[in-house]
Amino acid sequence: MSKLNKEEIVKIAALMIHASKLDEHFTEKEKKLVINFVKNNCSENSDELNIFQEAEKLENNTNQLLNYTRIIKEKSNEFKSEIIEELWKIIISDEKEDEYESNFMRRLCGLIYFSDKSCGEIKLRVKNKN
């Protein structure tokens, strides 16, 4: 994945935080996954904790998925695959997946024009790695 600018990384991290909170348990493991994503994908030499806090603030003040998805929708299918994989890592990190998380992923895939079949394949791949 090519490096992202600060605005992109904040919005994608906010989406990841949103996915983390769907089951009402935002764990340290999930926070670390988001922070690692930020550290590995931000083009600027920014403090990943600062970006994480900005993303958390954005997520707390927004309940519209569209605010986060526009950036992803405009990217390549390869990019979308990588984001979907990161989201599944977060959702599966607690070894449970509830109906809200599954519904979220279906809605997200619809919004970014990503196939359900590909999303399911990524989910299985992530589950098999754990």
Domain boundaries in the chain? Answer: 6-129
The predicted pLDDT at position 33 comes to 95
CATH number of 6-129: 1.10.3680
The predicted pLDDT at position 1 comes to 62
The predicted pLDDT at position 64 comes to 75
In a structure prediction context, what are the per-residue pLDDT tens digits for the chain, which is 130 residues long? Answer: 668 888 899 999 999 999 999 888 899 999 999 999 999 887 766 788 899 999 999 998 877 777 778 889 999 999 999 999 999 999 999 888 888 899 999 999 999 999 999 999 999 999 998 6
Q: How far apart are CA 97 and CA 39, in angstroms?
A: 26
Place of tokens 């809605």: 107
The predicted pLDDT at position 48 comes to 86
The predicted pLDDT at position 2 comes to 67
The predicted pLDDT at position 76 comes to 93
The predicted pLDDT at position 81 comes to 96
